Amino acid sequence: MEFYLNYHGTLSTTGHAKLKFQYRRAFLKQLKELDLYYKLNKVPDEIGFSLKKLKVVGPFRFLPLVTRDSNLEIDLEIVLLSQMGPGGEKQSYGDLDNLLKALIDGLRMAQNTNEIRNEVPEAGEDPFYCLLEDDQVIRNINISHKKLFFSAEKTGKKGRSQEIFALIKVRVAPKFPLLLNLTDAATDLKG
């Protein structure tokens, strides 16, 4: 199962809880649309967003697509575009590895109340859809960093944009595909 998510805006590597929720909220709307698509196409609960996967942290009821118990894993292919592009000056908003961490934090649910701080659910955020319970369910990450050529709205200290555009290809796969196939084959033989 494959689909795409995107993020367009500034991306900070400070790790502040408010910023992580800004990133989560950018993905929330897209994941709600994905859930609607899954429901219309009768995707089984084990693969889609099931209330069995609901996790409560502080005032939030998070609904991750992939949990540690779901027998699913995630592959991510990320194209990250920035005004600086690779090989340019040191970027004021952080190194590539820190930007990747900030993006992944936005894709996963908060792990504890320290990651929530003063945030409260807004209208339409119950449940709060997210891609991952935590980053332990990520099997592979492939990232490409390229130069962003379209106009930028926000600029940093040197007049350069701090704007980021990320296109994220998500591939959801079973952890143990062979076991699933053997189980199906055994069921077919019995039937």
**CA 52 vs CA 49, 123, 172: distances in Å:** 8, 22, 18
pLDDT by residue (tens digit) across 77-114? 999 887 765 565 555 555 777 778 888 989 999 999 88
Mean pLDDT of 169-183: 74
Output the pLDDT for position 10: 81
Of the candidates 100, 98, 110, the residue with the CA atom closest to the CA atom of residue 166: 100
60 by Cβ neighbours in 10 Å (0-12 / 13-18 / 19+) ranks as buried
Burial of 186 (C-beta count, 10 Å sphere; 0-12/13-18/19+): exposed
The tokens for 178 are 């062979």
Q: Which amino acid is at 41?
A: N
59 compared with 187, residue with greater pLDDT: 59
Domain boundaries, the chain: 2-190
pLDDT tens-digit series, residues 20-38: 888 899 999 999 999 999 9
In this structure, the strands spanning 2-10 and 163-174 are antiparallel
- Under 8 Å CB-to-CB from 124, ≥6 apart: which residues? 32
Tokens of 102: 């900030």
pLDDT > 90? residue 125: yes
Query: When comparing pLDDT for 62 and 118, which is higher?
Result: 62
Query: Residue 50 and residue 32: Cα distance in Å, rounded?
Result: 12
Task: Identify the burial level of 119 via C-beta atoms within 10 angstroms of its C-beta, where 0-12 means exposed, 13-18 middle and 19 or more buried.
Answer: buried
Q: Are strands 128-132 and 60-66 parallel, antiparallel or unpaired?
A: parallel
